[in-house]
Structure 1
Amino acid sequence: MSTTDTRLSDVLAGREDNYLLPFYWQHGGDQHKMIPEQLARIRGSGCRAVCVESRPHPEFVGPGWWHDMDLILDTCKRLGMRVWIFDDKHYPTGYASGEVERHPELRPWMLVERHLDVIGPMPGAAILVPAPIREDEETLLGAYAFRRRRDRDEGDFDTDLGQYLEGEPVQLVPDAAGKVLTWDIPPGCWRIFFLYQSRRGGPATRIDVIDPRSCSALIRAVYEPHYERYQKYFGNVIAGFFSDEPQFGNQLIGPHRVDPGFYERRIGQEGLALPYNAEVLRRMSEEMGTDAAPYLGELWYESPHSHITRLAYMNAVTRLYRECLVQPIAAWCRERGVEYIGHVIEDMNIHARMGAGPGHFFRALDAQDMSGIDIVLHQVMPGLADYMTAAICAGGGVSPDFFHYSLGKLGASLAHITPHMKGRAMCEVFGAFGWGEGATFMRWLIDFLLVRGINHFIPHAFSPDYPDPDCPPHFGAHGRDPQFDGFSAIMRYTNQAAHLLTGGRHVASAAILYHAEAEWMSAYGKAMLMQKPARALYDRHVDFDIVPADTLLTAARVRDGRLEIAGESFGALVIPAAEYLPAPLLAQLAEFQQAGLAVLFADGVPHGVSETPVPLAKLADAVRAAAGTDLTVDGDYPLLRVFHLVRDGHDIFMLFNESPDKPARTTLRTSARGTFARLRLLEDFAVRDTSPDGAVAIDLLPGQSEILIFGDTAALPAATTYTHAGTLHPTYAVEIAESDDLTAFQPYTTTEKLFNLNAPGHLPDFSGKIRYRFSIEVAAADAGKPAALDLGAVGEWARLWVNGADAGIRVSAPYRFEVGRHLRAGRNDLLVETGNTLAQKIRDRFSHYLQLRPAGLLGPVTLWR
């Protein structure tokens, strides 16, 4: 074991790496001349890279784009910054800079169906074959009939969608003209499917993500022109390319009785056009061991063996997505010395579905050099982990189970189990929350992600326009952003914390099976989503990774009763309840059990399994009983999150109190022993502590976090203990500077009572910075002795000067500053500067979903000795 953690040494010396690559939007036109100033502002905030995005640029991959990129690359080289390139003219990735519009033959093909129900017996019945909608864009593939089960036996017609199939399909052959088919209908009710390969139901201007020829258009239209022009920058200034939300893009076209919504484009949904080509059918047939064509109707309607057909279809299209789109781009980038990153739409479980999703989160991303997710559009709100929350995204609401308990862990898990990612997990963050998203909120989101294992960030976004209505906030806002001081402090903190939390082995007690295959195969609502067991474990301080079946089948082993994957080790494997699971996976689970692994089925078992399930309420106890856990927390603190990492023999813990109102005053118990560093980096707090028995006292305010590094012998001081607090009652001279000129402070009032500057009767429309000047008297005997000034409550960030010396900045409670070395005998002049958000002035639609914090210094202000 090393005596000093090298990454802690880096942070204490200011040598931490960069983990930030904010979006830097390009609109073209006369904004070219602002590029050096904007990049200097970005660099000054602590971000040492950018992701350049056309939002949109009217000349993307044209003369105007090259003119701007030339200056961006030259400026970034001079500033020591790296550049990532957003890989299309606009999101989602797949437009290929208009290549599909120029070559419509590259558009996706879909499988669509029309059907009718007939009753037999009727010898010689004639059935009219529906004509293609457009002869040149729709081809009849075949006609097949399935016997119907009586819907009356399955449920109420008004509440149950029914329409179940049974038995084996019957192939029907139209006449030579393809207009009529004749069939001796057997007794009973039958559904006749007419299956078409069609352009209907697919995106009209985006590539076909399961066709290699179509996918290559993206490389040809975007990637290769950048390489041809900037080859000398590849691997040095240019770090790589970023894909944003590529997707199948298939749409609901009917017939259907119910549209369950944007996020529900899943296999089995009636009326959904399905991505398709001959290779899909070939792969399905190979997996099923028979010609899959007659069974295609089961992709929309349930039968006793539809789970087999649906699994074969989803395996085919999700693997083709990876092979046709993601793997070629990743290979192209690596061959040229750059990296490939990005994310898909994960929201509300669409990561395992189609439509705007990729069908399978892990298959869609595992060829990239980092994992990726995003948190935007009010998807995670502090304190609302128990509530379905209003948001501006599709459907108007977000599920806390998914966003709080599985999204961050999805991104981190993929990075943990994919060796070439080197543990790097990225999140696009802050976008489209609104101007009301202040520094305190941003700090909470960063800690929310760090403690779940995310360690690279794309702040969304820097825009050349102000005010730009496109998904604010926009950091800096051309010098008009009152939150930029706080934002910059958070960016510096993020680099420091991410540096400390990267480069080791994540310690977790359990692996949870990714639910994609279970949902594909099971009837609607019969597959438990992974976030259910995730919540049951996480609120009990049992950490986990989410692991797909592919990994369990190809890259996992059991040794000494523990599941080992890419250096990770888990004492138990949790299987969410499902009606069906793939047969190879069931066989693998049985082998794991025989090798001594605890395989726990949560709340139910699939067909073919005779185990006794574990109720969700007892799942955490079952994991602890099966394999133990690396840590415990005394008392009832479900929202105290703990992340455990081991690096070079050092046990490293991050703790974050997500509770909106309950301090976490408890004891963390671990197997780590001895001296440790206790770091609260945003509070300029780095001290030495010790634990002879693994018990560590924790005292965190709501929204407060800290990092513990065991075994480190860095020369850190012991914490100063203060025993006496005196409340100050000075007269405050209050000054304000409007956002249009944040340097032009004007007197507002003098007061002995602190107040909310945005309150009625004061300045409810004010957006800007606020200063408080006041003085205190210090006795000669106390001058230079340890002392701390606590500002109490503050609306957002606060910076303090004492006798002209900068004492630091805070972005959330506690707003406490070590001031002893700055205090002198007699009068001491203090200045507090803070700011509110631009929401009071701009009142954008995104901020309607936020509660805005009071403005200014609210106190009480106390001096601790």
Structure 2
Amino acid sequence: MKRLLPLLLAALAQAPAQAQAPKWPDITQQHKPWTRWWWQGSAVNRQDLSRLLTEYQQAGLGGVEITTIYGVKGAEKEFINFLSPQWLDMLTHTFTEAGRLGLGVDMAQASGWPFGGPWVKPEDACKYLAYRTYAVKGGEVLTEPVGYTQKPMMRAVGLPMDVKTMQQPVARNPDLQLHAFDQVRFEVPLPLQTLMAYSDQGQTLDLTGKVGPDGKLSWTAPAGAGWTLYAIFQGWHGKQVERAGPGGEGDVIDHFSRGATDNYLRYFDEAFKGRDIKPLRAFFNDSYEVDDAQGEGNWTPQLFQEFQRRRGYDLRQHLPALLGKAADDENQRVLSDYRETISELLLENYTRTWHAWAQKHDALIRNQAHGSPANILDLYAATDIPETEGEDLLRLKFASSAAHVTGKPLTSAETATWENDHFLSSLGDVKKAVDRMLLGGVNHVFYHGTNYSPQRAAWPGWLFYAAVHFNPNNSFWPDFGQLNRYAARCQSFLQAGQPAHDVLLYLPIYDSYAQRAKLPATAEPDRAKLLLQHYDGITHGFKGLPVGETGETLLKRGYGFDFISDLQLLGVKNAGRGLQTSAGTSYQTVLVPAARLMPLPTLQQLLKLAKGGATVVFQGQLPQDVPGLGALDTRRAAFKKLIGQLKLSAGPGGGQQAAVGKGRVLVGADVDGLLTAAGVQRETLVDQGLEFVRRRHAKGHYYFVTNWGDKPLMGWVPLRTAAKSVAQYNPMTEKLGLAATRPGAAGQPEVYLQLAPGEACILETNEAAISGPAYAYQRPAGAPQPLQGSWSVQFLTGGPELPAKVDTRELASWTTFGEAARKFSGTARYTTTFAAPGGAADGWLLDLGRVGESARVQLNGQDLGTLIGPSYQVFIPREQLKASNTLTVQVSNGMANRIIDMDKRGVEWKRFYNVNVAAKLKENRDEKGLFTAAKWEPRPSGLLGPVTLTPTSTRVEKVQ
């Protein structure tokens, strides 16, 4: 809690002053974007660590997350084993230098992912359930031994190896970097966990104790019935740590075992002895990803005991149902109970155990819970900084919802992992990715990622297999700081205040728990491989359930909402007619999206909230039944009694309603109508193609608003909040001022907005009138005027060599300037002179037209701004123009053109173990399956134009 408390206090303190003119918050380390810092092979040295950290700080990054991964070929003598004394020396040096530079440091708690390593013993490694059935007639004995020999298998990203010659465990084998094992299973007999006999007359017998060491069963089947025997075995899953660096290769842990987690973390305790790790802010887990291997890690040795304790009955009595071979209803109920048990074990024995351990080291945890076979809302809630990835808003909202509901000040995100294939993403593309994160409730961006690369490494340096390379070797690096300043300004508001959403969207996890994966019709599969359900947004785990469509409707219609789990819902209390979570976050209603199954305590809580004055909304239908098998009759009777007490009558929008105490229950198909009836107002700005996220501060709201449509917005936009003044901030240009407003519906304001495609703004509403300068809107006062004349093009930095200077009157891609320019990645300076345009405009809008890919603009030696796209416009005040003016535009392209040339000439730059280098698109793969740009044509680069000046008015009265 020592580390979390400052975050909470900072979030409350960072709101800009409300009684004074608008101003930007002071930017802190936490506001700035951070980056994942790949240490390949941990082949790092003090000099380069210091140099690189300085460059990161100068580019506007706020911190780094150290993740050690696979090494670089040729650098083997420099490899440092993960957590070795030498490695910890490098970590200590990083702490010192980061502290000097004002940078934060997090650390991945594995070399690669998931948690695992050479110190993980077989008893602590991930496991799977294997089973075999036997048929025995009454009066007969089983003649074959009860046994299961695991089939050998070996998957390696690198050089394959004959599993029969390998040592056990995998970490004992030499040349692990060369092989890069992904999964290995040895041919070994598996230990029997239980042997249960089921008769065709409903009898069940436990025969486990009657199986001898040789597998012989000493049992004669009772006469009069046929018997089916189910033998459950414990398999060794064999999943290895992915992308592991030296000293980090080995088995992945059993995430369901408290002992396995404790033993794993104890290794870190031993490594840290005598070391000061207090500068470390947080430990990090990069995804679950156990089950992206063959088969599922779906077993833990204590499962039968834990199941009995938690679900109230013996799973061994229902093994056919677990494996999908009983009646459908029993199959679904037992499977649901199994999945709920797995979810709880992952929450308690891994996530909470890890969190408690980190607290002892005065550190936080950042956790990517997605992909886990558990209710990830609860996993995220047990995390100090929930982290997500991807750009689907519903996926992002799982992490941010848990943060909002449980009062976590930060939601982080792995950002811009695969925007495009390698070397094709511009800073403008990354800005769009950042905006998606912010719209999804993320307020702590982590780029994915930045490679440590020594100064001696030839260009392009050391690279990771993911496709956006945020490192100083990238030719967009000189303009990278502009993106970072933009993100920091946005996050300075979005880390302040509290979330301001109205709707709690219930996550119908039990409907998902009860769904078994569809089995192939052609063959009987190993049903034990289909036990888990993995959750990663709506598309993984909830596909086909109404909640996905409901979430999309809420986004499209402009309703602010957060997902909530059953466990979190139990902590919600009444606050007048509204609701308040256990962390104090306020909402107006709960929406249940056509859930069929619902636990009795959840239904009781919903009706309790309604009785206390809340409106609870059920989309489509009331829940129909309880999940699970234990004490089913008792729970079902209580459930049906509660449902029966609801006296439904005709309600709004063709639906139904029932009074419950001081509140009510609404049921119907029309979500819009139901929420309107519940008093929830949507933000109609979405009808104009805008997207938003909203937070609450002491005297109003913050809105982050984006226009990612293909047309500019110029007009009045309604806000669904009471306000007497609205301040507007442009996080890209730092322009600010009081926005033009006018009265709208229900005493709520309309604000005048101008947003180009891809542009965003921050609105700060205030219930009181405040004074300050007006926001300077820009309206065309005439037609665009082409900027004609000669351009001088001077190549400044980059390679492989600097092309010769060019003078031209026609702007075109610099790749047309000759062979040296075709292969050039770097920066060129464009210079022209022009006379001041005539007329009485307040200024002129300079539009560069097309740019490949980012530009720094100067007029008469004064900076006008850095433009990263997608639009390339900057305003020139009238007073900055002279009779004769010099316009300078420094344009930087991406890395692609230089890489194209290298690949066409066969120059080797891919020198990495493990993944070397993956392509996102299959058309960009060579005969070895590796990335290649040899088939590409040079990307358009430089100032492409046309460049125009448009006379512009900035007078406020023009918008009235």
Give TM-score scaled by structure 1 length: 0.80
Tell me the SS of whatever aligns to 1:132: coil
Asked if 1 retains the 8 angstrom alpha-carbon contact of 2:815 and 2:941, the reply is: yes
Q: How far apart, CA to CA, are the structure 1 residues paired with 2:261 and 2:209?
A: 35
**Counterpart among 303, 311, 314 of residue 288 in structure 1:** 311
Q: How far apart, CA to CA, are the structure 2 residues paired with 1:453 and 1:818?
A: 31
**Counterpart among 213, 231, 239 of residue 259 in structure 2:** 213
Shift of 1:791: 2.0
For 2:386, the equivalent position in structure 1 comes to 371
Shift of 1:209: 1.6
Shift of 1:856: 2.8
- Summarize the alignment of residues 249-268 of structure 1 with structure 2, pairs less than 5 Å apart: 249=291, 253=295
RMSD of aligned residue pairs (Cα, Å)? 3.7
C-alpha spacing 1:806/1:646, structure 2 compared with 1 (3 Å): same
For 2:130, the equivalent position in structure 1 comes to 112
For 1:156, the equivalent position in structure 2 comes to none
Matched, 1:424 2:424: no
Give the letter aligned to residue 676 of structure 2.
Answer: R
Give the letter aligned to residue 341 of structure 2.
Answer: A
**Counterpart among 894, 908, 912 of residue 837 in structure 1:** 894
The superposition leaves residues 714-765 of structure 1 with CA deviations (integer Å, 9 ceiling, x where unpaired) of: 633431444234322322425364874599574234123x334457999654
Tell me the SS of whatever aligns to 1:809: strand
For 1:262, the equivalent position in structure 2 comes to none
Q: How far apart, CA to CA, are the structure 1 residues paired with 2:679 and 2:816?
A: 55
Tell me the SS of whatever aligns to 2:401: helix
For 1:400, the equivalent position in structure 2 comes to none
C-alpha spacing 1:477/1:718, structure 2 compared with 1 (3 Å): closer
Q: 723-732 vs 500-509, which deviates more?
A: 723-732
Tell me the SS of whatever aligns to 2:670: helix
- Summarize the alignment of residues 465-614 of structure 1 with structure 2, pairs less than 5 Å apart: 465=453, 466-473=460-467, 475=469, 477-478=471-472, 480-524=473-517, 528=545, 530-553=547-570, 555-565=571-581, 566-603=583-620, 606-608=623-625
Q: How far apart, CA to CA, are the structure 1 residues paired with 2:125 and 2:843?
A: 70
**Counterpart among 233, 248, 260 of residue 196 in structure 1:** 233
Shift of 1:39: 0.7
Matched, 1:677 2:693: no
For 1:705, the equivalent position in structure 2 comes to 760
Asked if 1 retains the 8 angstrom alpha-carbon contact of 2:620 and 2:669, the reply is: no
Q: How far apart, CA to CA, are the structure 1 residues paired with 2:24 and 2:551?
A: 33
- Summarize the alignment of residues 120-135 of structure 1 with structure 2, pairs less than 5 Å apart: 124=140, 126=142, 128-133=144-149
Shift of 1:286: 2.8
- Summarize the alignment of residues 664-743 of structure 1 with structure 2, pairs less than 5 Å apart: 667-693=717-743, 694-711=749-766, 713=770, 715-722=772-779, 723-735=781-793, 737=795, 740-741=798-799
C-alpha spacing 1:60/1:739, structure 2 compared with 1 (3 Å): farther
Q: How far apart, CA to CA, are the structure 2 residues paired with 1:123 and 1:820?
A: 100
- Unmatched tracts of structure 1, length 5 or more: 149-165, 254-271, 354-358, 381-403
C-alpha spacing 1:561/1:227, structure 2 compared with 1 (3 Å): farther
Asked if 2 retains the 8 angstrom alpha-carbon contact of 1:770 and 1:835, the reply is: yes
Tell me the SS of whatever aligns to 1:40: helix
For 2:845, the equivalent position in structure 1 comes to 788
Q: How far apart, CA to CA, are the structure 2 residues paired with 1:316 and 1:212?
A: 14
C-alpha spacing 1:577/1:665, structure 2 compared with 1 (3 Å): same
For 2:9, the equivalent position in structure 1 comes to none
- Summarize the alignment of residues 807-822 of structure 1 with structure 2, pairs less than 5 Å apart: 807-820=864-877
Give the share of equivalent positions with the same residue, in percent: 19
Give the letter aligned to residue 69 of structure 2.
Answer: R
Asked if 2 retains the 8 angstrom alpha-carbon contact of 1:288 and 1:309, the reply is: no
For 2:4, the equivalent position in structure 1 comes to none
Q: How far apart, CA to CA, are the structure 2 residues paired with 1:743 and 1:724?
A: 43
Shift of 1:655: 1.0
C-alpha spacing 1:193/1:251, structure 2 compared with 1 (3 Å): farther
C-alpha spacing 1:171/1:68, structure 2 compared with 1 (3 Å): closer
Asked if 2 retains the 8 angstrom alpha-carbon contact of 1:437 and 1:847, the reply is: no
Shift of 1:80: 1.9
Asked if 2 retains the 8 angstrom alpha-carbon contact of 1:55 and 1:90, the reply is: yes
Asked if 2 retains the 8 angstrom alpha-carbon contact of 1:561 and 1:596, the reply is: yes
Q: How far apart, CA to CA, are the structure 1 residues paired with 2:141 and 2:715?
A: 78
Matched, 1:320 2:345: yes
C-alpha spacing 1:298/1:595, structure 2 compared with 1 (3 Å): farther
C-alpha spacing 1:136/1:12, structure 2 compared with 1 (3 Å): closer
Asked if 2 retains the 8 angstrom alpha-carbon contact of 1:174 and 1:182, the reply is: no
**Counterpart among 327, 330, 333 of residue 355 in structure 2:** 330
Asked if 2 retains the 8 angstrom alpha-carbon contact of 1:287 and 1:312, the reply is: no
For 1:649, the equivalent position in structure 2 comes to 699
Asked if 2 retains the 8 angstrom alpha-carbon contact of 1:32 and 1:68, the reply is: yes
Shift of 1:831: 0.8
Tell me the SS of whatever aligns to 1:337: coil
Shift of 1:131: 1.2
Give the letter aligned to residue 88 of structure 2.
Answer: W
For 2:880, the equivalent position in structure 1 comes to 823
For 1:99, the equivalent position in structure 2 comes to 119
Q: How far apart, CA to CA, are the structure 1 residues paired with 2:725 and 2:17?
A: 11
Tell me the SS of whatever aligns to 1:74: helix
**Counterpart among 2, 8, 25 of residue 38 in structure 2:** 25
Asked if 1 retains the 8 angstrom alpha-carbon contact of 2:417 and 2:447, the reply is: yes
Asked if 1 retains the 8 angstrom alpha-carbon contact of 2:593 and 2:620, the reply is: yes
Tell me the SS of whatever aligns to 1:812: coil
C-alpha spacing 1:129/1:12, structure 2 compared with 1 (3 Å): same
Q: How far apart, CA to CA, are the structure 2 residues paired with 1:7 and 1:250?
A: 54
Shift of 1:499: 0.9
C-alpha spacing 1:631/1:73, structure 2 compared with 1 (3 Å): same
Q: 455-464 vs 606-615, which deviates more?
A: 606-615
For 2:221, the equivalent position in structure 1 comes to 183
Matched, 1:658 2:708: yes
Q: How far apart, CA to CA, are the structure 1 residues paired with 2:830 and 2:68?
A: 42
Q: How far apart, CA to CA, are the structure 2 residues paired with 1:456 and 1:3?
A: 19
C-alpha spacing 1:599/1:123, structure 2 compared with 1 (3 Å): farther
Give the letter aligned to residue 534 of structure 1.
Answer: G
Shift of 1:588: 2.8
The superposition leaves residues 7-29 of structure 1 with CA deviations (integer Å, 9 ceiling, x where unpaired) of: 99673665685343212222344
Matched, 1:41 2:55: yes
Q: How far apart, CA to CA, are the structure 1 residues paired with 2:602 and 2:485?
A: 45
For 1:310, the equivalent position in structure 2 comes to 335
For 1:225, the equivalent position in structure 2 comes to 271
Q: How far apart, CA to CA, are the structure 1 residues paired with 2:765 and 2:412?
A: 26
Tell me the SS of whatever aligns to 1:806: strand
Asked if 2 retains the 8 angstrom alpha-carbon contact of 1:795 and 1:855, the reply is: yes
Asked if 2 retains the 8 angstrom alpha-carbon contact of 1:125 and 1:185, the reply is: no
For 2:175, the equivalent position in structure 1 comes to none
C-alpha spacing 1:191/1:606, structure 2 compared with 1 (3 Å): farther
Asked if 1 retains the 8 angstrom alpha-carbon contact of 2:31 and 2:495, the reply is: no
Shift of 1:429: 1.0
The superposition leaves residues 213-261 of structure 1 with CA deviations (integer Å, 9 ceiling, x where unpaired) of: 2212332223552363124xx1xx32222222245549655xxxxxxxx
Tell me the SS of whatever aligns to 2:843: coil
Q: How far apart, CA to CA, are the structure 2 residues paired with 1:335 and 1:716?
A: 50
Asked if 2 retains the 8 angstrom alpha-carbon contact of 1:793 and 1:857, the reply is: yes
Matched, 1:748 2:748: no
Shift of 1:632: 2.2
The superposition leaves residues 530-556 of structure 1 with CA deviations (integer Å, 9 ceiling, x where unpaired) of: 432110110111121011111112x11
